[in-house]
C-alpha cells in the first residue's frame, strides 16, 4: 500500500520526457556510426569516440544523482537544465565540423556524454514521485520512449539517405527543445505536490563507494549487466555494419531500428498488468537469459528477414529488463539509496556501450561481422552467469492492481 494518497499522476509528463530522451538516444547513439563515418572516421575511431562519450556519461549521471540525493535543497531540474544547455552548445559546434578531426571527435563525445547523463536524473524523478505519493507507471512512460524511438528512427533513415548526416544535427536541436519542455512540465508537477516530512527512522544516503560495499550482490548484478549490454550494443551501435553484412543500407537500418522499438512497446506498456502475481526477480532472470538468445540469433542471421526475426527477441530481453529493473531496485534497495541504485543500473548499460564501442569497433575493422557477434555472445554468456548468481529473490506482487 502506498504511503500517501496518489491524487496526482506524473506518468504523462514523465512519459513525454522519456519519449524525447529516447529520441535523443536514437539520434546520438544509434546513428552515431552514420554521422561519424560521414565525417571520415573508421570503425575503430568512432568506437573510441563513443567509448569516451559513454564513459563520461556513465560517470556524470550517478555523480549528479548522488549529489541530488545528498543535497535536499537541490532540485533535480537544477542539474538537468545545464546539461540541456551544454548539449545545445555541442550540437552547434558539430554543425561546423564537416570532416574528421580532433575537434569533431571531442564535440561528439561530449554531446553523447551529456545526452546519456540526463536519464540518470530522469530516474531520480521516479524516486521524487514516490516520495511525494504521486502515481507513476514507469512501464507506460518507457513505452512512450520506444514509440518515439520508432517514429524518429524510421524518419531519420529516410532523411539521412535523401539529405545527409546534417539531418541528424537539426533533428537533435528539435528533440532538445521538446525534451526541455517535457522536463519543465515534470518539474512543475513535482513542485505542486508537497514533499512530506522525512521519517525520523529514515537513514541518510550512502556515498557511491559505501553503497557498493554494502550491497555486494547488487554490485555483482551491475557487473553482469555491463556484459549483457556489451553484447546488446555491439549489435545496436554498429547496426549499419550488421545490416550491410546481409545486403542492407541506411534506410534498412532505420526500419530495423524502428521495428526493434515496436516490439518493445507491448511489454513495457502492459508490464504493470502481467507482472501482478509474479516475482519481479524471476522476470528479470528471464530477461537476462533472453539477452544471450538474442545475441546468438543476430550472430547467425543470414539475411535481412532473419535480422527482423532476431529482433523479435528484443521484447523478452531488453524490454523486459528495462521494465523490471526499476521495480526490482525498489524491492531490494532501501529508499534512501534507490535513486543512486537506479542511476547505477542505467550507467552500467552505458558502460556496456563503452566496451562495445571500443572492442566492437576493433573487431568490426579486423574480423568478420559474424565473428564479432559471436564474441559478443560469449561475453553475454558470462554476464548471464553473473546476473543469475546475483539477483535476489523478491516476493510475488499482489494480483489486484489496487
DSSP 135: B
Q: What is the pLDDT of residue 5?
A: 42
Q: What is the pLDDT of residue 340?
A: 78
SS (H, E, C) 84-132: HHHHHHHHHHHHCCCCCCHHHHHHHHHHHHHHHHHHHHHHHHHHHHHHC
Query: Is the distance from CB of 222 to CB of 30 less than 8 angstroms?
Result: no
DSSP string, 333-371: S-HHHHHHHHHHHHHHHHHHHHHIIIIIHHHHHHS-HHH
**Residue pLDDT tens, the chain, 402 long:** 334 444 478 888 899 999 999 999 999 988 888 889 889 888 788 888 988 888 888 888 888 877 776 676 677 778 889 999 999 999 999 988 878 889 999 999 999 999 988 888 887 887 778 777 788 888 888 888 888 887 888 788 788 878 888 889 999 999 999 999 998 998 888 888 776 665 544 566 676 677 778 888 999 999 999 999 999 989 988 888 899 988 888 788 878 877 887 898 899 888 888 888 889 999 999 999 999 999 999 999 999 999 999 999 999 999 999 889 988 988 888 877 777 788 788 778 878 877 887 788 788 888 999 999 999 999 999 999 999 999 988 877 666 544
User: Which residues are bridge partners to 396 per DSSP?
Assistant: 279
Per-residue pLDDT, 171: 93
Q: Are 230 and 356 in contact (CB under 8 A)?
A: yes
243 and 253 Cβ atoms separated by less than 8 Å? yes
Q: Are 311 and 264 a contacting pair, CB within 8 Å?
A: no
Q: Is 258 within 8 Å of 152 (Cβ atoms)?
A: no
Which residues share a beta bridge with 380? none
The conformation of residue 393, written as its DSSP 8-state character, comes to: P
Provide the pLDDT for residue 72: 64
Find residue 90's DSSP bridge partners.
none
Query: Buried b vs exposed e over 313-335: b needs ≥16 C-beta within 10 Å?
Result: bbbbbbbbbbbbbbbbbbebbee
Domains of the chain: 11-193+207-390 (1.20.1250.20)
- Tell me what pLDDT residue 264 has: 84
Residue 213 neighbours by CB distance under 10 Å:
11
C-alpha cell at 153: 528512427
The DSSP symbol for 195 reads: P
For residue 60, give the H/E element and its range: helix 43-70
pTM: 0.74
Residue 62 and residue 246: Cα distance in Å, rounded? 39
Q: How far is CA 198 from the centre of its chain?
A: 31
pLDDT value of position 90: 95
Amino acid at each position: 500500500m502506498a504511503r500517501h494518497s496518489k491524487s496526482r499522476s506524473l506518468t504523462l509528463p514523465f512519459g513525454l520526457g522519456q519519449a524525447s530522451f529516447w529520441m535523443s538516444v536514437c539520434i546520438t547513439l544509434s546513428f552515431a556510426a552514420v554521422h561519424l563515418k560521414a565525417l571520415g572516421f573508421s570503425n575503430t575511431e568512432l568506437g573510441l569516440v563513443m567509448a569516451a562519450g559513454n564513459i563520461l556519461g556513465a560517470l556524470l549521471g550517478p555523480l549528479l544523482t548522488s549529489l541530488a540525493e545528498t543535497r535536499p535543497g537541490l532540485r533535480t531540474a537544477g542539474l538537468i537544465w545545464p546539461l540541456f544547455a551544454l548539449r545545445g552548445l555541442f550540437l552547434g559546434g558539430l554543425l561546423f565540423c564537416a570532416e574528421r578531426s580532433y575537434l569533431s571527435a571531442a564535440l561528439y563525445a561530449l554531446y553523447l556524454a551529456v545526452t546519456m547523463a540526463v536519464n540518470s536524473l530522469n530516474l531520480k524523478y521516479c524516486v521524487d514521485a514516490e516520495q511525494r505519493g504521486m502515481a507513476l507507471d514507469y512501464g507506460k512512460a518507457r513505452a512512450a520512449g520506444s514509440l518515439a524511438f520508432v517514429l524518429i528512427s524510421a524518419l531519420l533513415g529516410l532523411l539521412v539517405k535523401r539529405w545527409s548526416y546534417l539531418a541528424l544535427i537539426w533533428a537533435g536541436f528539435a528533440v532538445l527543445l521538446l525534451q526541455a519542455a517535457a522536463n519543465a512540465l515534470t518539474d512543475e508537477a513535482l513542485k505542486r505536490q508537497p514533499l512530506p516530512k522525512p521519517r525520523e527512522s529514515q537513514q541518510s544516503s550512502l556515498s557511491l563507494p559505501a553503497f557498493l560495499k554494502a550491497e555486494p550482490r547488487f554490485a555483482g548484478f551491475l557487473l553482469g549487466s555491463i556484459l549483457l549490454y556489451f553484447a546488446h550494443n555491439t549489435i545496436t551501435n554498429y547496426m549499419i555494419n550488421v545490416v550491410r553484412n546481409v545486403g542492407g543500407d541506411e534506410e534498412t537500418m532505420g526500419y530495423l531500428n524502428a521495428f526493434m522499438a515496436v516490439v518493445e512497446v507491448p511489454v513495457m506498456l502492459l508490464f504493470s498488468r502481467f507482472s501482478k502475481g509474479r516475482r519481479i526477480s524471476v522476470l528479470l532472470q528471464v530477461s537476462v537469459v533472453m539477452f544471450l538468445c538474442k545475441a546468438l540469433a543476430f550472430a547467425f542471421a543470414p539475411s535481412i528477414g532473419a535480422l527482423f526475426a532476431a529482433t523479435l527477441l528484443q521484447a523478452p530481453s531488453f524490454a523486459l529488463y528495462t521494465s523490471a529493473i526499476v521495480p526490482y531496485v525498489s524491492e531490494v534497495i532501501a529508499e534512501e539509496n534507490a535513486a543512486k541504485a537506479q542511476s547505477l543500473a542505467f550507467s552500467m548499460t552505458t558502460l556496456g556501450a563503452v566496451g562495445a564501442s571500443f572492442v566492437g569497433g576493433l573487431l568490426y575493422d579486423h574480423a568478420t561481422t559474424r565473428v564479432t557477434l559471436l564474441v559478443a555472445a560469449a561475453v553475454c554468456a558470462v554476464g548471464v552467469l553473473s546476473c543469475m548468481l546475483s539477483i535476489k529473490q523478491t516476493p510475488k506482487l499482489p494480483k489486484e492492481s489496487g
